[in-house]
Structure 1
Protein backbone atom coordinates (compact mmCIF):
# COMPACT_ATOMS: atom_id res chain seq x y z
CA UNK A 1 0.00 0.00 0.00
CA UNK A 2 2.81 2.35 0.91
CA UNK A 3 4.68 1.61 -2.32
CA UNK A 4 1.52 2.33 -4.34
CA UNK A 5 1.16 5.66 -2.57
CA UNK A 6 4.81 6.48 -3.26
CA UNK A 7 4.42 5.53 -6.92
CA UNK A 8 1.30 7.67 -7.20
CA UNK A 9 3.13 10.59 -5.54
CA UNK A 10 6.14 10.19 -7.84
CA UNK A 11 3.88 10.10 -10.89
CA UNK A 12 2.11 13.28 -9.78
CA UNK A 13 5.44 15.00 -9.13
CA UNK A 14 6.74 13.94 -12.55
CA UNK A 15 3.52 15.17 -14.18
CA UNK A 16 3.87 18.50 -12.36
CA UNK A 17 7.48 18.86 -13.56
CA UNK A 18 6.46 18.02 -17.14
CA UNK A 19 3.63 20.55 -16.93
CA UNK A 20 5.99 23.28 -15.72
CA UNK A 21 8.50 22.45 -18.46
CA UNK A 22 5.77 22.54 -21.11
CA UNK A 23 4.45 25.83 -19.73
CA UNK A 24 7.94 27.32 -19.77
CA UNK A 25 8.48 26.18 -23.37
CA UNK A 26 5.11 27.62 -24.43
CA UNK A 27 5.83 30.97 -22.76
CA UNK A 28 9.27 31.12 -24.40
CA UNK A 29 7.75 30.36 -27.81
CA UNK A 30 5.09 33.01 -27.25
CA UNK A 31 7.71 35.61 -26.27
CA UNK A 32 9.82 34.71 -29.32
CA UNK A 33 6.82 35.09 -31.62
CA UNK A 34 5.91 38.44 -30.05
CA UNK A 35 9.49 39.69 -30.43
CA UNK A 36 9.62 38.54 -34.06
CA UNK A 37 6.41 40.47 -34.79
CA UNK A 38 7.94 43.80 -33.72
CA UNK A 39 11.47 43.39 -35.13
CA UNK A 40 12.17 44.60 -38.67
CA UNK A 41 12.03 41.96 -41.37
CA UNK A 42 15.31 40.83 -42.93
CA UNK A 43 15.97 43.00 -45.97
CA UNK A 44 15.55 40.08 -48.38
CA UNK A 45 11.96 39.66 -47.11
CA UNK A 46 11.01 43.31 -47.63
CA UNK A 47 9.18 44.41 -50.76
CA UNK A 48 9.03 47.97 -52.09
CA UNK A 49 10.20 50.07 -55.01
CA UNK A 50 11.24 53.69 -54.41
CA UNK A 51 13.15 56.41 -56.24
CA UNK A 52 16.38 58.05 -55.06
CA UNK A 53 17.33 61.71 -55.41
CA UNK A 54 18.97 60.98 -58.78
CA UNK A 55 15.85 59.35 -60.21
CA UNK A 56 17.09 55.74 -59.88
CA UNK A 57 14.73 52.96 -58.81
CA UNK A 58 15.81 51.31 -55.55
CA UNK A 59 14.51 48.01 -54.16
CA UNK A 60 15.53 46.19 -50.95
CA UNK A 61 17.63 43.61 -52.80
CA UNK A 62 19.86 46.46 -54.03
CA UNK A 63 21.10 46.84 -50.45
CA UNK A 64 22.20 43.24 -49.96
CA UNK A 65 25.96 42.69 -49.80
CA UNK A 66 26.56 45.91 -47.86
CA UNK A 67 25.61 46.93 -44.31
CA UNK A 68 22.62 49.27 -44.28
CA UNK A 69 21.56 52.19 -42.09
CA UNK A 70 18.01 53.52 -42.61
CA UNK A 71 16.15 56.48 -41.12
CA UNK A 72 12.57 57.64 -41.82
CA UNK A 73 11.91 61.38 -42.04
CA UNK A 74 10.83 64.26 -44.25
CA UNK A 75 12.35 67.50 -45.51
CA UNK A 76 9.86 69.82 -43.79
CA UNK A 77 10.65 68.28 -40.40
CA UNK A 78 11.50 71.12 -37.98
CA UNK A 79 13.88 69.36 -35.57
CA UNK A 80 14.08 65.55 -35.30
CA UNK A 81 15.08 64.90 -38.92
CA UNK A 82 17.80 67.53 -39.33
CA UNK A 83 19.18 66.65 -35.90
CA UNK A 84 19.30 62.94 -36.74
CA UNK A 85 20.83 63.56 -40.17
CA UNK A 86 23.51 65.73 -38.53
CA UNK A 87 24.14 62.93 -36.04
CA UNK A 88 24.41 60.39 -38.87
CA UNK A 89 26.85 62.67 -40.69
CA UNK A 90 28.99 62.88 -37.54
CA UNK A 91 28.88 59.10 -37.03
CA UNK A 92 29.99 58.51 -40.62
CA UNK A 93 32.87 60.96 -40.14
CA UNK A 94 33.89 59.23 -36.93
CA UNK A 95 33.86 55.80 -38.55
CA UNK A 96 35.90 57.09 -41.49
CA UNK A 97 36.50 55.21 -44.77
CA UNK A 98 34.75 52.06 -43.47
CA UNK A 99 31.49 54.01 -43.65
CA UNK A 100 31.87 54.08 -47.45
CA UNK A 101 30.87 50.40 -47.39
CA UNK A 102 27.40 51.21 -46.02
CA UNK A 103 24.08 51.95 -47.63
CA UNK A 104 22.99 55.02 -45.66
CA UNK A 105 19.42 55.97 -46.48
CA UNK A 106 16.69 58.46 -45.57
CA UNK A 107 13.23 57.23 -46.62
CA UNK A 108 10.76 60.10 -46.84
CA UNK A 109 7.34 59.63 -45.26
CA UNK A 110 6.02 62.76 -47.02
CA UNK A 111 5.69 61.88 -50.72
CA UNK A 112 3.37 64.83 -51.37
CA UNK A 113 6.21 67.31 -50.84
CA UNK A 114 9.40 65.25 -51.07
CA UNK A 115 10.15 64.76 -54.75
CA UNK A 116 13.57 63.35 -55.71
CA UNK A 117 14.72 66.90 -56.51
CA UNK A 118 13.57 68.24 -53.14
CA UNK A 119 15.30 65.35 -51.37
CA UNK A 120 18.52 65.95 -53.30
CA UNK A 121 18.57 69.62 -52.40
CA UNK A 122 17.81 68.89 -48.75
CA UNK A 123 20.43 66.16 -48.38
CA UNK A 124 23.13 68.39 -49.89
CA UNK A 125 23.32 69.91 -46.39
CA UNK A 126 24.54 66.61 -44.90
CA UNK A 127 27.11 63.90 -45.53
CA UNK A 128 27.09 63.03 -49.27
CA UNK A 129 26.96 59.31 -48.43
CA UNK A 130 23.34 59.72 -47.27
CA UNK A 131 20.87 58.85 -50.03
CA UNK A 132 17.21 59.82 -50.07
CA UNK A 133 14.28 57.71 -51.22
CA UNK A 134 10.73 58.73 -52.02
CA UNK A 135 7.87 57.36 -54.08
CA UNK A 136 4.19 56.58 -54.20
CA UNK A 137 2.44 56.39 -50.83
CA UNK A 138 1.62 52.64 -51.10
CA UNK A 139 5.31 51.87 -51.68
CA UNK A 140 6.35 53.99 -48.70
CA UNK A 141 3.73 52.20 -46.61
CA UNK A 142 5.22 48.85 -47.69
CA UNK A 143 8.71 50.00 -46.75
CA UNK A 144 7.55 51.27 -43.35
CA UNK A 145 5.71 48.00 -42.69
CA UNK A 146 8.84 45.96 -43.45
CA UNK A 147 10.79 47.94 -40.88
CA UNK A 148 7.90 47.62 -38.36
CA UNK A 149 7.99 51.42 -38.21
CA UNK A 150 5.08 53.85 -38.34
CA UNK A 151 4.09 57.26 -39.64
CA UNK A 152 0.98 59.40 -39.90
CA UNK A 153 -0.05 62.72 -41.35
CA UNK A 154 -1.03 65.30 -38.72
CA UNK A 155 -3.17 68.26 -39.90
CA UNK A 156 -2.33 71.75 -38.67
CA UNK A 157 -4.32 74.97 -38.57
CA UNK A 158 -4.53 76.71 -41.90
CA UNK A 159 -4.56 73.54 -43.98
CA UNK A 160 -0.88 72.71 -43.42
CA UNK A 161 0.31 69.40 -41.98
CA UNK A 162 3.28 67.69 -40.39
CA UNK A 163 4.30 64.03 -40.14
CA UNK A 164 4.69 61.88 -37.05
CA UNK A 165 7.08 58.99 -37.64
CA UNK A 166 9.42 56.49 -36.04
CA UNK A 167 12.62 58.36 -35.21
CA UNK A 168 15.08 55.51 -34.66
CA UNK A 169 17.90 54.60 -37.05
CA UNK A 170 17.79 50.98 -38.24
CA UNK A 171 20.97 48.95 -38.73
CA UNK A 172 21.38 45.78 -40.82
CA UNK A 173 24.42 43.67 -41.63
CA UNK A 174 25.60 42.91 -45.17
CA UNK A 175 23.32 39.84 -45.32
CA UNK A 176 20.31 42.01 -44.56
CA UNK A 177 19.80 40.80 -40.99
CA UNK A 178 18.62 43.33 -38.41
CA UNK A 179 21.47 44.25 -36.04
CA UNK A 180 20.22 47.08 -33.83
CA UNK A 181 18.40 50.38 -33.64
CA UNK A 182 19.91 53.71 -32.63
CA UNK A 183 17.45 55.77 -30.62
CA UNK A 184 16.84 59.44 -31.28
CA UNK A 185 19.58 61.53 -29.64
CA UNK A 186 21.53 58.44 -28.59
CA UNK A 187 25.07 59.39 -27.57
CA UNK A 188 27.73 58.65 -30.20
CA UNK A 189 29.60 56.60 -27.58
CA UNK A 190 26.85 54.02 -27.98
CA UNK A 191 25.70 54.73 -31.55
CA UNK A 192 29.08 54.33 -33.27
CA UNK A 193 29.83 50.87 -31.78
CA UNK A 194 26.43 49.69 -33.02
CA UNK A 195 27.31 50.85 -36.53
CA UNK A 196 30.70 49.16 -36.31
CA UNK A 197 28.93 45.94 -35.30
CA UNK A 198 26.82 46.14 -38.48
CA UNK A 199 30.04 46.66 -40.48
CA UNK A 200 31.71 43.52 -39.08
Structure 2
Protein backbone atom coordinates (compact mmCIF):
# COMPACT_ATOMS: atom_id res chain seq x y z
CA UNK A 1 0.00 0.00 0.00
CA UNK A 2 1.47 3.36 -1.08
CA UNK A 3 1.44 6.32 1.23
CA UNK A 4 2.57 9.92 0.97
CA UNK A 5 5.65 8.95 2.98
CA UNK A 6 6.51 6.17 0.53
CA UNK A 7 6.19 8.55 -2.38
CA UNK A 8 8.32 11.15 -0.59
CA UNK A 9 11.03 8.56 0.11
CA UNK A 10 11.10 7.46 -3.50
CA UNK A 11 11.33 11.05 -4.70
CA UNK A 12 14.04 11.82 -2.17
CA UNK A 13 16.05 8.86 -3.48
CA UNK A 14 15.70 10.07 -7.07
CA UNK A 15 16.53 13.66 -6.24
CA UNK A 16 19.68 12.69 -4.33
CA UNK A 17 21.15 10.89 -7.32
CA UNK A 18 20.33 13.75 -9.67
CA UNK A 19 22.03 16.24 -7.37
CA UNK A 20 25.35 14.43 -7.19
CA UNK A 21 24.53 11.81 -4.57
CA UNK A 22 25.73 8.23 -4.51
CA UNK A 23 26.18 6.30 -7.75
CA UNK A 24 26.62 2.93 -6.04
CA UNK A 25 24.12 0.17 -6.70
CA UNK A 26 22.28 -0.84 -3.55
CA UNK A 27 19.58 -3.42 -2.85
CA UNK A 28 17.99 -0.95 -0.41
CA UNK A 29 16.63 2.42 -1.49
CA UNK A 30 19.48 4.91 -1.86
CA UNK A 31 18.45 8.15 -0.14
CA UNK A 32 21.88 9.74 -0.12
CA UNK A 33 21.50 13.49 0.15
CA UNK A 34 18.03 13.38 1.70
CA UNK A 35 17.15 16.40 3.83
CA UNK A 36 15.88 14.34 6.77
CA UNK A 37 17.33 11.84 9.25
CA UNK A 38 20.14 14.24 10.04
CA UNK A 39 19.56 14.48 13.80
CA UNK A 40 18.58 12.06 16.55
CA UNK A 41 18.69 13.53 20.03
CA UNK A 42 17.14 11.31 22.70
CA UNK A 43 18.13 9.76 26.03
CA UNK A 44 19.21 6.13 26.08
CA UNK A 45 18.05 3.55 28.65
CA UNK A 46 20.70 4.87 31.06
CA UNK A 47 19.31 8.41 30.80
CA UNK A 48 22.34 9.61 28.80
CA UNK A 49 21.50 12.02 25.97
CA UNK A 50 22.57 10.43 22.68
CA UNK A 51 23.18 11.98 19.26
CA UNK A 52 24.10 10.58 15.85
CA UNK A 53 27.55 12.11 16.29
CA UNK A 54 28.17 9.67 19.15
CA UNK A 55 28.45 6.90 16.56
CA UNK A 56 31.02 8.51 14.24
CA UNK A 57 33.09 5.86 12.50
CA UNK A 58 30.29 3.28 12.69
CA UNK A 59 27.43 2.35 10.43
CA UNK A 60 24.18 3.01 12.29
CA UNK A 61 20.88 1.28 11.55
CA UNK A 62 18.01 3.25 13.09
CA UNK A 63 14.66 1.55 13.63
CA UNK A 64 11.53 2.94 15.29
CA UNK A 65 9.35 0.38 17.08
CA UNK A 66 8.18 -0.86 20.46
CA UNK A 67 8.90 -3.83 22.71
CA UNK A 68 5.39 -5.31 22.64
CA UNK A 69 5.34 -5.39 18.84
CA UNK A 70 4.20 -8.89 17.86
CA UNK A 71 6.17 -9.39 14.65
CA UNK A 72 7.80 -6.51 12.74
CA UNK A 73 10.12 -5.32 15.52
CA UNK A 74 11.53 -8.67 16.66
CA UNK A 75 11.99 -9.91 13.08
CA UNK A 76 13.72 -6.67 12.08
CA UNK A 77 16.10 -6.79 15.03
CA UNK A 78 16.79 -10.50 14.51
CA UNK A 79 17.58 -9.82 10.84
CA UNK A 80 19.90 -6.99 11.85
CA UNK A 81 21.70 -9.32 14.26
CA UNK A 82 22.15 -11.81 11.41
CA UNK A 83 23.38 -9.02 9.14
CA UNK A 84 25.97 -8.07 11.73
CA UNK A 85 27.16 -11.67 11.91
CA UNK A 86 27.42 -11.86 8.11
CA UNK A 87 29.75 -8.85 8.15
CA UNK A 88 32.32 -10.93 10.03
CA UNK A 89 35.17 -8.80 11.33
CA UNK A 90 33.37 -5.65 10.14
CA UNK A 91 30.36 -6.51 12.30
CA UNK A 92 31.75 -4.44 15.15
CA UNK A 93 31.49 -1.39 12.88
CA UNK A 94 27.68 -1.68 12.93
CA UNK A 95 25.43 -0.47 15.73
CA UNK A 96 21.68 -0.88 15.94
CA UNK A 97 19.71 2.04 17.39
CA UNK A 98 16.14 1.23 18.45
CA UNK A 99 13.83 4.18 19.10
CA UNK A 100 10.64 3.38 21.00
CA UNK A 101 7.38 4.85 19.77
CA UNK A 102 5.72 3.65 22.98
CA UNK A 103 7.47 5.46 25.84
CA UNK A 104 4.39 4.94 28.02
CA UNK A 105 5.07 1.20 28.34
CA UNK A 106 8.70 0.93 27.24
CA UNK A 107 10.56 1.73 30.42
CA UNK A 108 14.31 2.15 30.37
CA UNK A 109 14.81 -1.26 32.02
CA UNK A 110 12.49 -2.99 29.56
CA UNK A 111 14.26 -1.39 26.59
CA UNK A 112 17.67 -2.39 27.90
CA UNK A 113 16.60 -6.02 28.25
CA UNK A 114 14.73 -6.10 24.95
CA UNK A 115 17.46 -4.63 22.78
CA UNK A 116 20.13 -6.41 24.79
CA UNK A 117 18.55 -9.75 23.90
CA UNK A 118 19.56 -9.05 20.28
CA UNK A 119 22.89 -7.37 21.01
CA UNK A 120 23.97 -5.88 24.35
CA UNK A 121 26.10 -3.28 22.52
CA UNK A 122 23.15 -1.80 20.65
CA UNK A 123 21.38 1.32 21.87
CA UNK A 124 17.74 1.88 22.77
CA UNK A 125 16.38 5.41 22.93
CA UNK A 126 13.29 6.81 24.60
CA UNK A 127 12.05 10.20 25.61
CA UNK A 128 8.94 12.18 26.30
CA UNK A 129 6.05 11.87 23.82
CA UNK A 130 7.09 15.25 22.37
CA UNK A 131 10.71 14.17 21.97
CA UNK A 132 9.66 10.94 20.25
CA UNK A 133 7.33 12.86 17.94
CA UNK A 134 10.17 15.23 16.98
CA UNK A 135 12.53 12.33 16.25
CA UNK A 136 9.86 10.59 14.17
CA UNK A 137 9.26 13.77 12.17
CA UNK A 138 12.99 14.11 11.53
CA UNK A 139 13.06 10.57 10.06
CA UNK A 140 9.64 10.85 8.36
CA UNK A 141 8.40 7.95 10.51
CA UNK A 142 4.68 7.36 10.97
CA UNK A 143 3.25 5.90 14.18
CA UNK A 144 -0.04 5.92 16.02
CA UNK A 145 -1.69 4.18 18.93
CA UNK A 146 -4.38 1.62 18.08
CA UNK A 147 -6.76 1.12 21.04
CA UNK A 148 -7.20 -2.40 22.40
CA UNK A 149 -9.79 -3.98 24.66
CA UNK A 150 -8.21 -2.37 27.74
CA UNK A 151 -6.32 0.87 28.31
CA UNK A 152 -2.93 -0.89 28.41
CA UNK A 153 -3.51 -3.50 25.69
CA UNK A 154 -3.17 -1.14 22.75
CA UNK A 155 -0.86 -1.73 19.80
CA UNK A 156 1.18 0.75 17.78
CA UNK A 157 1.06 1.10 14.02
CA UNK A 158 4.45 2.32 12.83
CA UNK A 159 6.78 2.59 9.87
CA UNK A 160 8.42 -0.80 9.40
CA UNK A 161 11.57 0.35 7.61
CA UNK A 162 15.07 1.03 8.91
CA UNK A 163 17.48 3.80 8.04
CA UNK A 164 21.22 3.42 7.53
CA UNK A 165 23.50 6.25 8.61
CA UNK A 166 27.04 6.00 7.27
CA UNK A 167 30.28 6.30 9.22
CA UNK A 168 30.31 10.07 8.59
CA UNK A 169 26.82 10.56 10.03
CA UNK A 170 24.97 10.91 6.71
CA UNK A 171 21.68 9.18 6.00
CA UNK A 172 22.23 6.80 3.08
CA UNK A 173 19.72 3.96 2.85
CA UNK A 174 16.04 3.26 3.44
CA UNK A 175 15.80 -0.45 4.22
CA UNK A 176 12.43 -2.05 3.62
CA UNK A 177 11.01 -4.49 6.14
CA UNK A 178 11.91 -8.12 5.36
CA UNK A 179 15.04 -7.19 3.41
CA UNK A 180 17.16 -10.37 3.57
CA UNK A 181 20.19 -10.01 5.85
CA UNK A 182 22.46 -11.06 2.97
CA UNK A 183 21.25 -8.07 0.91
CA UNK A 184 21.65 -5.59 3.74
CA UNK A 185 25.12 -6.96 4.53
CA UNK A 186 26.09 -6.46 0.87
CA UNK A 187 24.86 -2.85 0.99
CA UNK A 188 26.75 -2.18 4.20
CA UNK A 189 29.95 -3.62 2.68
CA UNK A 190 29.58 -1.15 -0.20
CA UNK A 191 29.26 1.73 2.26
CA UNK A 192 32.30 0.57 4.20
CA UNK A 193 34.30 0.22 0.98
CA UNK A 194 33.34 3.79 0.07
CA UNK A 195 34.70 4.97 3.38
CA UNK A 196 31.18 5.91 4.37
Q: TM-score over 0.5 for the alignment? A: yes
Q: Is the 8 A contact 2:42 2:125 kept in 1?
A: yes
- Native 8 Å contact 1:172 1:198 kept in 2: no
Distance in 1 between the 2:58 and 2:117 partners? 24
What count of residue pairs does the alignment treat as equivalent?
Answer: 166
Rounded to whole Å, the distance in 2 between the matches of 1:186 and 1:62 is 27
Larger RCO: 1 or 2 (CA < 8 Å, sep 6+): 2
Aligned twin of 1:162: 155
Structure 2 unmatched ranges of 5 or more: 1-10, 17-30
Match of residue 77, structure 1, among 45, 69, 73: 69
Give the structure 2 partner of residue 104 of structure 1. Answer: 96
What is residue 6 of structure 2 aligned with on the other side? none
Structure 1 unaligned spans of 5+: 1-30
RMSD: 2.3
- 4+ residue stretches of structure 1 with deviation over 4 A? 31-36
Maintained 8 Å contact 2:59/2:167: yes
* Offset, 1:112: 0.4
Larger radius of gyration: 1
What is the CA-CA distance between 1:67 and the residue it aligns to? Answer: 2.2
Alignment partner of 2:99: what SS? Answer: strand
The Cα shift of 1:84 comes to: 0.8
Q: So what's the TM-score if we normalise by structure 1?
A: 0.73
Contact persistence 1:50–1:59 (CA under 8 A): yes
Distance apart, 1:181 and its partner CA: 1.8
- The 5 A counterparts of 1:1-200 are 41=35, 45-46=38-39, 48-159=40-151, 160-200=153-193
Compare 122-131 and 85-94 and name the one that shifted more: 122-131
Tell me which protein shows more helix as a share of its residues. 1
CA separation in 1, counterparts of 2:162 and 2:13?
23
